[in-house]
């Protein structure tokens, strides 16, 4: 569970102050996959970064209960000179996970073949994303932060990613950001709509999508 209490966040831009949240109060419940929906530039990624602790709110408090993942699929913290296997082993040790178990899971899931034992500097962007997703979903967190990650790879890998995510959701919750409302409906049970610095919670994701489409004046995705 993640609780926002009187949280405000804004940035200065050449066009003026950009308000992300204005005294926001909301609860992301435990054990539920929640779709975070809002127009382009509304601040969804900033909110995810605040939940993860990368960015601090200007005021108010964010209380986190249980363990929270980094953004699933994020490969920015990998060591490019280390192999995929070495990066996996290092992260397993940091999080207190059995190294051999996680390495076996990631090697099978990411489908990297012999590249798993080559330095990351030789990887394509897609290969890094598959490795990162495998490591992220291979560690049991209470809440997963998901940002467009299941869009990586071909149709077969997208399906594999979604099934792996849904399997984790049997024992965990998530906050999901994606531009695809169809994808959001598949990955989330409930939804939060971000509009004009306010977040509104909907028990059913379909109702959140309807509200977002009303805000956008369209039935299309962003």
Instruction: Indicate the number of domains in the chain.
Output: 1
Distance from C-alpha of 218 to C-alpha of 222, rounded to nearest angstrom? 9
Task: Tell whether 166 is covered by a domain.
Answer: no
Q: Residues 6 or more apart from 179 whose CB is under 8 A from it?
A: 148, 221, 222
Mean pLDDT of 151-156: 65
What CATH number has the domain bearing residue 3? 3.40.50.300
| Residue numbers of the domain that contains 219 | 1-67+145-158+171-222
18 and 191 in contact (C-beta within 8 Å)?
A: no
Give me the pLDDT at residue 154, please: 67
Would you tell me how many other CB atoms lie within 10 Å of the CB of residue 209?
22
Note the pLDDT tens digit of each residue in 87-114: 999 999 998 999 999 999 999 999 899 9
Question: Pairing between strand 33-38 and 173-177?
Answer: parallel
Give me the pLDDT at residue 155, please: 74
Task: Tell whether 114 is covered by a domain.
Answer: no
- Tell me the residue length of the chain: 222
């Amino acid at each position: 569970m993640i609780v926002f209490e009187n949280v405000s966040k804004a940035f200065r831009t050449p066009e003026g102050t950009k308000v992300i949240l204005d005294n926001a109060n909301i609860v992301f419940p435990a054990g539920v996959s929640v779709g975070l929906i809002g127009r382009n530039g509304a601040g969804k990624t900033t909110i995810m970064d605040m939940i993860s602790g990368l960015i601090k709110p200007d005021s108010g408090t964010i209380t986190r209960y249980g363990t929270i993942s980094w953004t699933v699929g994020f490969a920015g913290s990998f060591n490019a000179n280390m192999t995929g296997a070495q990066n996996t082993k290092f992260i397993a040790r940091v999080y207190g996970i059995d190294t051999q178990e996680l390495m076996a899971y990631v090697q099978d899931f990411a489908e990297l073949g012999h590249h798993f034992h080559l330095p990351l500097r030789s990887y394509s962007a897609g290969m890094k994303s598959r490795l990162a997703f495998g490591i992220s979903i291979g560690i049991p967190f209470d809440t997963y932060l998901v940002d467009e990650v299941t869009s990586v790879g071909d149709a077969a890998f997208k399906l594999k990613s979604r099934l792996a995510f849904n399997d984790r959701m049997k024992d965990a919750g998530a906050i999901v950001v994606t531009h695809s409302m169809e994808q959001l409906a598949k990955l989330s049970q409930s939804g939060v709509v971000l509009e004009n610095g306010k977040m509104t919670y909907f028990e059913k994701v379909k109702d959140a999508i309807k509200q977002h489409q009303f805000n956008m004046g369209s039935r299309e995705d962003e």
